[in-house]
Structure 1
Amino acid sequence: MPPPAVDSFLAEDPERAFWRLPALLLGVLAGSALQLQQAALWDWRAYAGLLLWALACGALGAWLVRRSWRARSARALRWLRRGAWWLALVVGALGAFAGVGLRAAAYQDDALSPALEGRDLRVTGVVAAMPQVSDVGLRLRFAVESAELAGRAVALPPLLELSWWGASLFESPEGSQGEDADPTAVSARATPSIAAGERWAMTVRLKAPHGARNPYGFDSELWFWEQGVQATGYVRTGRRDVPPQRLARTWLYPIEQARQAVRDAIFARLLPADAGAAQESPLAARAAGVVAALVTGDQRAIERADWDIFRATGVAHLMSISGLHITMFAWLAARLVRWAWGRSARLCLAVPAQSAALVAGVLLAAAYALFSGWGVPAQRTVTMLATLALLRLAGLRWPWPQVWLLACAAVVLVDPWALLQAGFWLSFVAVGVLFASDVGAADAGAKGVRGHFYALLREQWVVTLALTPLSLVLFGQIALVGLLANLLAIPWVTLLVTPLALAGVFCAPLWQLAAWTLQPLLALLQWLAAWPQAVWFLPQAPLWAGVAAVGAGALLATRWPWAVRALALPLLLPVLCWQPARPAPGQFELLAADVGQGSAVLVRTATHNLLYDAGPRYGRAGVASDAGQRVLVPLLRALGERLDMLMLSHRDADHIGGAAAVLAQQPKAALTGSILNESALLALRPARPCLAGQRWLWDGVAFEVLHPQAQEVAAAERAKHSNATSCVLRISAAAGGDGAPGASGASAAALLVGDIEFAQEQALLARGAPLAADWLLAAHHGSKSSSGAAFLDAVQPRTVMVQAGYRNRYGHPAPEVLARYAERHIRVVESTRCGAATWASAAPDEVQCERTQRQHYWAHVPPPSRTHDGAIDGTGGSAAVMAR
């Protein structure tokens, strides 16, 4: 029996027991989050040493807890328990940091060797997931069993992501970025029918996962890391290649085989037999994709245009397997099992119906999550449900903050990289706010349909208040119609469409009924998305403003008096009023976006913006996406920029591929460039040709077009040589401004030259054009047909920017061009190594690289030098000074 003083202390502070476990859980979250900030992984021994320290601290904490049992005073007990609390925090943090680091180091050991990139490898393995079919071919996950290079066994990562292009495709969806395409890889063969679980032998070319890195952009390398994919590539099907061979159909990956069978059955039943019928009934075709996504988790079955509508109306979380669907499925399964279990007295005596229902609900929800592809949201939800079920089975009734922290920590232990996913924060902030606002208890007395409707309305209102600021921070947008759309869509999809779609697995005609019930909802959402100002876009604010806004959302969602909740409004002001810094008058800034094998440069002055080129199209028109959709539109929205002008240097697809998307998002931007024969773009907006001699002044910054001349345009059009008509634009800061002087002693300047070649460079020199510049966009992405010695001597740039795709099939930048840069001690900045690059006329010696500013250990680092189709990429071996 404890001494009276200790007994009195416990009576005065009963919450001490509550605060011991949260210390450990907080440590797990903090340690995991801290490890994810590492730019590079340590040696595994360092993580093992931290783990030993965690064990030592844990032993000390256990000793303190044991001493607290024999404490003879409340003061001694207080100090002992404080020490145990801090040690629990340290144990959780060190243990989680070390555990995540060890997992990452072990995973990184299986990475693809740079020596195997771009080589013809003969691999044997099994299709590990249902293939994703499109008009241009298919993509498949391939589990490697063995691999050979020229008859010699080599080691490859366990899981590959492969593309198998169709017969008519000469440019892959990523081909413009140089990621997978090779013209010799395309043959007259059509892509075969491939099923999960089949064993194949095929010749492939691989590379490390390498994605674009732009401010506020999607981190595809992190996505591949979470998926367990450590190499991507394409299947070689050329006439000189050993053809792929189906070896056997195996029993492996039975769940994926079942998923593929169900998905194909849904499409066979719901999709019209011919394309003409599909065009006559587009809603039916769109509904088929949503039904397939709800049943099998195949999100690529939903068209990109529909995803845009779902995001604009805030219902994207409903249209694929999400935590809401799995939770609903678990609740329904538990109710059915409890009802059936209660019919048997013998079963109830053996195991209470409530406990059996709880276990069955979690197990069936896990089975549903597995069948839906076991995506990250599904894993997160199942982990949380299992944690809560274990608490209930153990008879523990913990306070909601402790339950919430335990669920968070459990998810992070399973998948630490979930902390970097927007869905993690949206899910747990919503759950935490619902717990804190006590919505369920408040509406417990509600009776009847009216009461349930009120409960649903208030719950949606609370979640919307809490998550709107968080959505603004994460995505830079607010769906103003989101509350109305979710109020209609949540019960419609959750209680009607999804049950019918799932029941269709056992009774196929129900799929048709699910599609019919979905079509009016799709039409309604399309109507809501078309409302003026349906979506509100704001520049993305810094972290401190985002934290304040999330706190404001949580405060607004509480049940405190409105006088108290009104204090949240000042916390919202920073995120609502945030504007990125702009150049001073007379100065300008360039942001060379990372768009792969293409060009796109944003020019910003004090109050104006110009976009030079719009990046490539990733695939054939109307089939895949482009740099405008993927990179430039999100970037412009995140920066809060409104374009005054879009200049398209010439009509090559890698320069104008994203123009239509940019023009759609920038209705007031003037269009100019060498695109006179691009009728599709000219139908969107009238264009003025760019011609030598055009000049204008923005905020004290001078813009001058140096090329082409009118007669050169006519000659190039006759020769069908679009590179020769590239707009050459020189931008110079105001003389005597605040910026440092350029290389020539005058104000700092930049030169954007498109894809001009030697002939155009010589013409510019012959005309005596003012070419001197501190920053040069490499002509034709560093092609050997450009960047002549005389031209470089005239420009005398400090920095040259090469916008080219990683392992592009053209070999850009060419070794001889890099050698010319090196001879002149020109700093070379490559988008493959730098990501998006920012340069300012006020600091012409500095270049900020997105990959350097935000380094992560999962990010791909190109090797110092590599061989690609016989060409040496000399960026590492040359004397060029790389960007810091």
Structure 2
Amino acid sequence: MSIKAFAFLSGMMSLLIITKSSQAIWALVIALIVYLLTYFSQAKQTLTRMFLAGLCWSCVNIIVWSCYSGTTVSEPVRANIDGHICSIPGFSHDSYRFDFCIHSIDQKRLSFGQRNRFKLTWGKYVTPPEIALKAGQRWRFAVKLRPPHGRVNPAGFDSEQWMLSEGYGGNGYIKSAILMEHELTLSSTYHYLRQKVFDYLSAHLADVPNKGLILAITMGERDQVKTDQWQLFKNTGTSHLLAISGLHIGIAALWSYWIILFLWRLSHRLCLTVSAQKAAQIGSLIGAFMLLLLSGLGLPAQRAFIMLFIFLISRWSGRNYRLASVLSIALLVILIIYPFALLSASFWLSFFAIFIISCVINREVSEGRRVTEWLKVNWYLYLALIPITLLFFNLLSPVSIIANLLLIPLTSFVLTPIAYVASLVSIVNSYLASQLFQFASLVIDLTRWLQTLLTSFDWTHFTLSLHYFSIFLLLLMVMILLVPRKLVSKAVLLPLGLLFSFSLLVSEKENSFEMIVFDIGQGLAIYVQTPEGNLLYDTGWGKQQYAIAGSVLLPFFEARGIKRLDKVVISHGDADHAGGLKVVQQSLQIDELIAGEVLVAAQSQNCHSYTDWRWGNVHFKFLSAELSGDALPDDSLPSNNLSDNQRLTRHSLSGNNSSCVLSIEVTQSNYDAPTESQTPLTKAGPVEKEKYKILLTGDIEKRVEKKLLAKGIGKYDVVIAPHHGSKTSSTSEFVERLNPRHVIFSTGYDNQWKFPRKSVVQRYLKQESQIWVTHQQGAITLKIAPETGAILSSERETQPHFWTSQY
């Protein structure tokens, strides 16, 4: 059964390979034909049929999703929606955020198959709600709905994949709202009752120091967990303790089993009616189901409950199923019910962990060896989950094995039971419940002390980005370690280990130039890497406590192992260019900060008087420095009595026109022709020497463009469009003079300014420039190497998936 389930899973893996619904249709047709042909074969084709069944099921789901995914909203649209709040609202960054289950859009009921759950934001610019937002409330909203579109970058969180795996139809923000009369439905009633429980517990936890962590452990609500607390769990590899998943469902089932077993055995009559063992098993199922309801029916918790249910059914059937067979059946059921679970990291982590435990643990453990067996399981579990953790998070935590050895028992047998007992006791005795919650908080303090102690070492956690092939080899070696010797000889570990070591030595050519224009929303962030140094130009949007750099730039730097930046250039002080500077400063060492305007947050050199420099064959020059001595047409202020920084920005005291204009010239020689699938900057063909010119323009407008024209600016191969493609920039004369082969617009999806403007795009098209737009194509990467010349590519093209192809 295990091999059959693995064959079905292998077929389902086509979800990760198929990039378009048309491919899914052809794959389905071919798979069905082959499936029918297997019936005429003399040999047994069970595994082949299971593989084809998995392939067919994945193709069917891709086709159905493609047909229905756009029927709710296929593009940004304003609409009036009716529905109810189907999650406990959270508040952060001056905005409310919650899930909203839509009943109708513009008075049209949603049809079967349409995803009706949307992530909505009630921002600070909208009139605040007159009453507190609660789960289960029915509202009529005037909203701007968007399909599940996200930012696509070389590293970081894939929100499109996550929304697909979690069943969301999209997101949106509220324009106006009307509270409606409560409509009695199963869903709204469930969420209403869960909100009541949450409010009840929150009231009793008002004076408890670790309120947020207790709510996370008991109900899975993590909005009140502080950033530093969350970081401790992440760095020690114990963040799974804050998510209601398999561990918590198992704890609930285990404690329910023990309690019911003890109580049932007290009554001889009950034992004669139903055996204590069976009653305890039913009780464990009920306990797990109650926690599932309390946690908000999260998908990881649902999967864990299904596994528990199948395990108990196998016990009640009277047949002696092996644990591997039970797990295989559970895997098949979950893949059939939740086919897109394959896209979730939690699915792989939980199933792989259970698989490892089933391989390692002995069926019967003597009394004296239980501790040894526990240590053995945790050691193998730690080793086995390394490749999965590297695949999804690029993170390796050597202290996680110690942290989990200490904190899992502490959470399972002390903290969680106390928290749930306190919740129940609060119904009859508030004082006793308060004392129990305070004790739970002390246990959390002990947990945090242990975590802080473990993270005090320099080797707490490492960021490690490996190639997929290296991770596959690592996973293969782990699997060979686990399986019995009679199946696979351990001798094959030696050549696999050598191959793995060799794969670590293969890296990017050190003599290449790379520039990445990040898909960072409505803003700009560009990373430049040369063999001799690196540079970050702008940091994207940010304000006060939040910056997009935290979810786009930092994951990229962590994945690349970048801890230091030679130069950071902030083109000017606007929030969409300088907003992420603080986040970058807190996470990386910055050797030199250069800016076009005076920065309040940091001391910087001014680009308008900065001398040009060279890193190997790459020459950098601020063209805006050439304008520093010239007054712009409407800049007649005298230069006397100005501060140093003001004098350096003499040509444009503030605003967009103070942007640093950076020219980059890369000289390469003896390169080979690019392949047909690549996008070259120049006509393919070997040459002795080639120069590539790149222009980073910030937010300059017409006035600065005129001065650059007057200074004799020439042609460029790649241009970052000034001011994101606004009408105030990219004049016809400027575009004609630059005559770029490629122009890149860094813009946000569905931005309110409609950037890039069509008239501006047309000017570049008139010059036969190839257009690149970050919100349409994801991050744009330019690589220049002697072997290949210059190649431009987009993240959506290099990492295609069926859920991103529609954008």
Task: Give the TM-score taking structure 1 as reference length.
Answer: 0.79
Secondary structure of the residue that 2:69 maps to in structure 1? coil
C-alpha separation in 2, matches of 1:397 and 1:477: 40
Q: Write the distance in 1 (CA, Å) between the matches of 2:461 and 2:467.
A: 21
Within 5 A, what are the aligned runs for 1:240-251?
243-248=177-182, 250-251=184-185
Match of 2:134 in 1: 195
- CA gap of 1:333–1:794, structure 2 versus 1, over 3 A, is same
Closer/same/farther in 2, CA of residues 717 and 295 from structure 1, 3 Å limit: farther
Alpha-carbon distance in 1 for matches of 2:604, 2:173? 39
Residues 201 and 247, structure 1, Cα contact 8 Å, conserved in 2 = no
Q: Is 1:483 the equivalent of 2:366? A: no
Q: Are residues 1:419 and 2:342 paired?
A: yes
1:40 aligns with 2:40: no
Task: State which of 194, 197, 208 in structure 2 corresponds to 1:259.
Answer: 194
Which residue is 1:705 aligned to?
A: 622
**CA pair 718-830 structure 1, distance change in 2 beyond 3 A:** closer
Paired residue type of 2:803: W
Aligned to 1:161: 118
Give, in angstroms, the shift of residue 578 of structure 1: 3.1
Partner amino acid, structure 2, of 1:858: W
Q: Which moved more, 1:597-606 or 1:364-373?
A: 364-373
Q: What does residue range 421-436 of structure 1 map to in structure 2 within 5 Å?
A: 421-436=344-359
1:274-289 correspondence runs (5 A): 285=209, 287-289=210-212
| 1:801 aligned to which of 744, 748, 751 | 744
1:163 shift after superposition? 3.2
Correspondence for 2:106: 148
Per-residue deviation at 1:321? 1.0
Superposed CA deviations along residues 346-394 of structure 1, whole A, max 9, x for unmatched, are 5444443323322332343133123202222212211222222222222
Given the alignment of the two structures, is residue 847 of structure 1 paired with residue 795 of structure 2, yes or no? Answer: no
- 1:211-610 equivalent positions in 2, closer than 5 A: 211-237=150-176, 243-248=177-182, 250-253=184-187, 254-272=189-207, 285=209, 287-438=210-361, 441=364, 444-447=365-368, 452-508=370-426, 509=433, 510-538=436-464, 540-554=465-479, 567=493, 571=497, 574=500, 578=504, 581-583=507-509, 585=511, 587-610=512-535
Contact 1:127 1:142 in 2 (8 A): yes
| Structure 1 CA distance for aligned equivalents of residues 738 and 325 of structure 2 | 64
| Secondary structure class of the residue paired with 1:201 | strand
Could you tell me whether the CA contact under 8 Å between 1:147 and 1:155 is conserved in 2? Answer: no
After superposition, the Cα gap between the structure-2 partners of 1:431 and 1:630, relative to the gap in structure 1 and judged at 3 Å, is: same
State the AA in 2 paired with 1:714.
Q
Cα distance, 1:428 vs. partner?
A: 2.5
Is residue 101 of structure 1 aligned with residue 67 of structure 2? no
- 1:717 Cα deviation from its structure 2 partner: 7.7
Alpha-carbon offset, residue 249 of structure 1: 5.6
Counterpart for residue 815 of structure 1: 758
Per the TM alignment, residue 55 of structure 1 is displaced from its structure 2 partner at its CA by 7.7
Pick aligned residue for 2:595 from 654, 658, 673 = 673
**Which of 754, 776, 782 is 2:719 aligned to?**
776
Does the alignment pair 1:641 with 2:641?
no
- Measure, in 2, the Cα distance between the counterparts of 1:38 and 1:347: 56
- The counterpart of 2:573, out of the listed 625, 628, 651, is 651
Contact 2:681 2:717 in 1 (8 A): yes
CA distance in 2, matches of 1:228, 1:153: 19
Per-residue CA distance 1:78-113 (angstroms, 9 max, x = gap): xx6xx33x2x22332233333333334334433345
* 8 Å contact from structure 1 (residues 465, 556) kept in 2: no
Q: 1:567: how far off?
A: 4.3
SS at match of 1:811: coil
Number of the residue aligned with 1:728:
661
- The unaligned stretches of length 5 or more in structure 2 are 427-432, 632-644, 674-679, 684-688
Between the aligned partners of 1:696 and 1:579, the Cα distance in structure 2 is 32
Secondary structure of the 1:268 match is helix
Does structure 1 retain, via aligned residues, the 8 Å contact 2:76–2:147? no
Moved more, 110-119 or 390-399: 110-119
Structure 1 residue 824: Cα displacement: 0.8
Deviation at 1:856, TM superposition (A): 1.8
1:856 corresponds to which of 783, 786, 801: 801
Superposed displacement of residue 851, structure 1: 1.0
Q: For the residues of structure 2 that align with 1:233 and 1:720, how far apart are their CA atoms?
A: 38
1:825 maps to which residue?
768
Query: How much has 1:738 moved relative to structure 2?
Result: 3.3
Q: How far is 1:580 from its partner?
A: 7.3
| 1:844-877 C-alpha deviation (Å, 9 max, x unpaired) | 6642211122222222624xxxxxxxxxxxxxxx
Using the TM superposition, give the Cα deviation of residue 191 of structure 1 relative to its aligned residue in structure 2, in angstroms.
6.2
Q: Taking structure 1 as reference, are residues 388 and 548 closer, same or farther at Cα in structure 2, changes over 3 Å only? A: same
Structure 1 residue ranges without an equivalent (≥5): 1-20, 65-79, 170-185, 238-242, 273-283, 863-884
In structure 1, what is the Cα distance between the partners aligned to 2:597 and 2:448?
A: 37
Q: Secondary structure at the match of 1:299?
A: coil
Q: Which amino acid aligns with 2:134?
A: A
Report the counterpart of residue 876 of structure 1 in structure 2.
Answer: none
CA distance 1:271–1:659, shift in 2 (3 Å): farther
Residues 91, 97 of structure 2: 8 Å contact kept: yes
Taking structure 1 as reference, are residues 495 and 457 closer, same or farther at Cα in structure 2, changes over 3 Å only? same
Deviations 1:269-314 (A, max 9, x none): 3345xxxxxxxxxxx55x2111111111113332333222211111
Indicate if the aligned counterparts of 2:621 and 2:664 stay in contact, CA closer than 8 A. yes
Q: Partner of 1:848: helix, strand, or coil?
A: strand
> Judging changes above 3 Å, is the alpha-carbon distance between structure 1 residues 570 and 645 closer, same or farther for their aligned structure 2 residues?
farther
2: CA distance between counterparts of 1:525 and 1:577?
34
Report the Cα offset of residue 754 of structure 1.
0.9
TM-score (norm 2): 0.87
**Is contact 1:44–1:105 with CA below 8 Å preserved after alignment?**
yes
- SS for the counterpart of 1:650 is coil
CA 1:630 to 1:854, structure 2 compared with 1: closer, same or farther past 3 Å? same
Q: Residues 245 and 43 of structure 1: is their aligned pair in 2 closer, same or farther, counting only changes over 3 Å? A: farther
The correspondence for 1:763, drawn from 688, 698, 707, is 707
C-alpha displacement of 1:774: 0.9
| Equivalent-residue separation in structure 2 for 1:426 and 1:330 (angstroms) | 20
* Farther-moved stretch of structure 1 (670-679 vs 312-321): 670-679
Report the Cα offset of residue 720 of structure 1: 6.1
Worse-matched range after superposition: 783-792 or 835-844: 835-844
> What is the one-letter code of the residue matched to 1:657?
G
Take 1:650 and 1:101, find their aligned partners in 2: how far apart are those partners?
A: 49
- Cα distance in structure 2, aligned partners of 1:116 and 1:30: 31
What SS does the corresponding residue of 1:247 show, helix, strand or coil? coil
Aligned counterparts of 1:293 and 1:568: Cα–Cα separation in 2: 44
Structure 1 pair 44–568 and aligned structure 2 pair: CA distance change class (3 A): closer
* Alpha-carbon offset, residue 206 of structure 1: 0.9
Bigger shift: residues 469-478 or 608-617: 469-478
Task: State how 1:685-700 maps to structure 2 within 5 Å.
Answer: 686-692=603-609, 694-700=611-617
Paired position in structure 1 for 2:550: 629
> What is the rounded CA distance, in whole Å, between the counterparts of 1:359 and 1:591 in structure 2?
56
**8 Å CA contact retained: 1:50, 1:98:** no
- After TM superposition, the structure 1 stretch with the greater mean CA deviation from structure 2, 336-345 or 305-314, is 336-345
CA contact (8 A) 1:31 1:96 kept: yes
SS in 2 for 1:405: helix
What per-residue deviation string (whole Å, max 9, x for no partner) do you get for residues 327-351 of structure 1? 1211221222233333444544444
C-alpha RMSD over aligned residues = 3.3
1:473–1:546 contact (8 Å) kept in structure 2: yes
Distance 1:376 1:603 in 2: 40
Aligned mate of 1:127, from 85, 88, 91: 85
Report how far residue 114 of structure 1 moved.
9.1
Distance change >3 Å, CA 418–CA 120, structure 1 → 2: closer
Could you tell which deviates more after superposition, 829-838 or 297-306? 297-306
Give the superposition deviation at 1:829.
0.6
Shift of 1:743: 6.2
Q: Deviations over 1:439-494 (max 9, x none)?
A: 564xx1234xxx55444333322212222343233322211221222222112222
How far apart in 1 are the matches of 2:37 and 2:367?
A: 50
